[in-house]
């Protein structure tokens, strides 16, 4: 049974971080030693990021608060709120992103009735609350209260793939299933000043964003679908368990992102792809000429460099991943869906199913070290546009959230 992605929409908070301005704030913190100051400059400048978005509006100099929790504009000091303070903000602000992205994905399918949605899968690793985002989406959008709800929590940057794979399985089991998948991450809630290299790297890379997709196997959907979900695979590399991790501390979540991660990916990426590409032997050998697009999770510039070099990909094939990194940073699980959206907006020589579509190989990396891969088919071009700035009530294109 063929399973389709009807829509794929993205959303970001209103507050934009300029990378050079954020670098200067972090570099000016009084607790940094000489090495820490040098690392801040190196990590921020080499990240290949120009802008990112955050739900924490006080992280910019344009916002003034009488009771700052993250950044005191008057003193220039970064503060260190408790995990509870950070998570309380997550519960409020993540709901806006979850609901906004979900609404955009549903509204992109004008023939779809809200009561047609049978399953809801939500994803996040940057906070917890219950009733959770799945409940909030059902209530805010007016979905059937009996919709089957699932939440994938704390999996990290690769979690969009298990969510889409679950959606595919639901649709294969029930031809009438319509699955709404929503990923939302508020990584910036966990930034802090530190001399620790992993913490500095996280502050230079991570950002906030959300993405949502409508998935169905209804044959009528093929006339409007953007993507076809072909195959998914999961691989654990033989090394790397201690090189990438995500732990809960007293003052937010703590990231471990060892500088050896790009080397692990370099050593094992070809082998990690083999179970996926073996599904279609004509695609399984280097060079991968049968694959038009590569949707790589931009975990960082060095990771993209290693993937491109090892797989022999062209600069053009890495444009979607590098552009998402440059404009949005690393938004954990939502990021690879931004990359797919970028690919969907690219021109196709001929639109529609008559051409058979363009093959996409996608992958993301996370704690473990886990490599999740997907083989997809682009069926038609999506209307051009940028990420939406989302509230719980509406989604506007290129309109900031007040």
Could you read off the pLDDT tens digit of each residue along the chain, which spans 402 residues?
899 999 999 999 999 999 999 999 999 999 999 999 999 999 999 999 999 999 999 888 777 778 899 999 889 999 999 999 999 999 999 999 999 999 999 999 999 999 999 999 999 999 999 999 999 999 999 999 999 999 999 999 999 999 999 999 999 999 999 999 999 999 999 999 999 999 999 999 999 999 999 999 998 888 899 999 999 999 999 998 888 888 999 999 998 877 778 899 999 999 999 999 999 988 877 788 889 999 999 999 999 999 999 999 999 999 999 999 999 999 999 999 999 999 999 998 765 555 679 999 999 999 989 999 999 999 999 987 655 655 434 433 332 332
**What is residue 351's predicted lDDT score, i.e. its pLDDT?**
53
**What is residue 68's predicted lDDT score, i.e. its pLDDT?**
92
Q: Look at the chain and count its residues.
A: 402
CATH number attached to the domain at 225-346+355-379? 3.40.47.10
Pairing type for strands 395-397 and 3-12 reads unpaired
Other CB atoms closer than 10 Å to residue 174's CB: what's the count? Answer: 14
User: In the chain, where are the structural domains located?
Assistant: 3-223, 225-346+355-379
Q: Greatest CA separation found in the chain? A: 62
Q: Which two tokens mark 167?
A: 């959606």
241 close to 15: Cβ distance less than 8 angstroms: no
Three-state SS at 193: coil
The contacts of residue 73 (CB under 8 Å, 6+ apart) are 58, 61, 63, 64, 65
**What is residue 268's predicted lDDT score, i.e. its pLDDT?**
93
Cα→Cα distances 337→57, 152, 331, 385, Å: 24, 16, 10, 14
Distance CA 383, CA 163 (A): 24
Superfamily of domain 3-223: Thiolase/Chalcone synthase (3.40.47.10)
Q: Which two tokens mark 67?
A: 């009771």
Note the pLDDT tens digit of each residue in 229-264. 999 999 999 998 888 888 999 999 998 877 778 899
**What is residue 389's predicted lDDT score, i.e. its pLDDT?**
58
**What is residue 65's predicted lDDT score, i.e. its pLDDT?**
79
Same-fold call for 3-223 versus 225-346+355-379: yes
178 close to 214: Cβ distance less than 8 angstroms: yes
How many helices (DSSP H) and strands (DSSP E) are in the chain? Answer: 10, 17
Distance CA 49, CA 212 (A): 23
Query: Which residue, among 186, 187, 167, 190, has the nearest Cα to 178 in the 3D structure?
Result: 167
Specify whether 157 is catalytic. yes
Active-site residue (options: 43, 157, 183, 361): 157
**What is residue 62's predicted lDDT score, i.e. its pLDDT?**
77
Helix, strand, coil shares, percent, the chain, to 5: 40, 25, 35
Distance CA 21, CA 27 (A): 10
């Amino acid at each position: 049974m063929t399973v389709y992605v009807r829509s794929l929409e993205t959303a970001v908070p209103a507050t934009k971080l300029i990378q050079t301005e954020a670098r200067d704030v972090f570099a000016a913190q009084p607790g940094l030693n000489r090495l820490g100051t040098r690392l801040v400059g190196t990590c921020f400048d080499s990240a290949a990021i120009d802008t990112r978005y955050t739900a924490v509006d006080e992280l910019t100099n344009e916002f003034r608060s009488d009771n700052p929790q993250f950044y005191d504009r008057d003193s220039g000091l970064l503060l260190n709120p408790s995990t509870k303070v950070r998570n309380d903000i997550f519960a409020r602000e993540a709901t806006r992103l979850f609901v906004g992205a979900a609404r955009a994905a549903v509204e992109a399918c004008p023939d779809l009735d809200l009561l047609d949605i049978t399953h809801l899968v939500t994803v996040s690793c940057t906070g917890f609350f219950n009733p959770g985002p799945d409940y909030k989406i059902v209530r805010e959008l007016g979905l059937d209260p009996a919709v089957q709800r699932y939440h994938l929590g704390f999996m990290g940057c690769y979690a969009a793939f298990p969510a889409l794979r679950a959606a595919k399985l639901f649709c294969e089991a029930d031809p009438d299933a319509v699955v709404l998948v929503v990923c939302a991450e508020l990584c910036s809630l966990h930034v802090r000043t530190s001399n620790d290299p992993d913490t500095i790297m996280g502050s230079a890379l991570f950002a906030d964003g959300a993405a949502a997709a409508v998935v169905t196997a209804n044959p009528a959907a093929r006339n409007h679908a953007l993507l076809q979900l072909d195959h998914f695979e999961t691989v654990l590399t033989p090394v790397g368990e201690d090189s990438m991790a995500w732990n809960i501390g007293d003052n937010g979540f703590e990231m471990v992102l060892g500088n050896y991660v790009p080397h692990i990916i370099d050593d094992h990426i070809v082998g990690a792809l083999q179970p996926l590409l073996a599904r279609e032997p004509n695609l399984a050998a280097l060079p991968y000429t049968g694959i038009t697009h590569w949707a790589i999770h931009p975990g960082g510039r060095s990771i993209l460099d290693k993937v491109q070099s090892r797989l022999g990909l062209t600069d053009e094939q890495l444009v979607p991943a590098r552009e998402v990194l440059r404009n949005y940073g690393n938004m954990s699980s939502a990021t690879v869906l931004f990359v797919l959206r970028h690919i969907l907006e690219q021109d196709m020589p001929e639109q529609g199913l008559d051409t058979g579509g363009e093959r996409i190989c996608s992958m993301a990396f996370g704690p473990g070290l886990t490599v999740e891969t997907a083989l997809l088919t682009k069926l038609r071009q999506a209307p051009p546009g940028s990420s939406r700035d989302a509230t719980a009530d509406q989604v506007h294109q290129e309109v900031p959230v007040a």
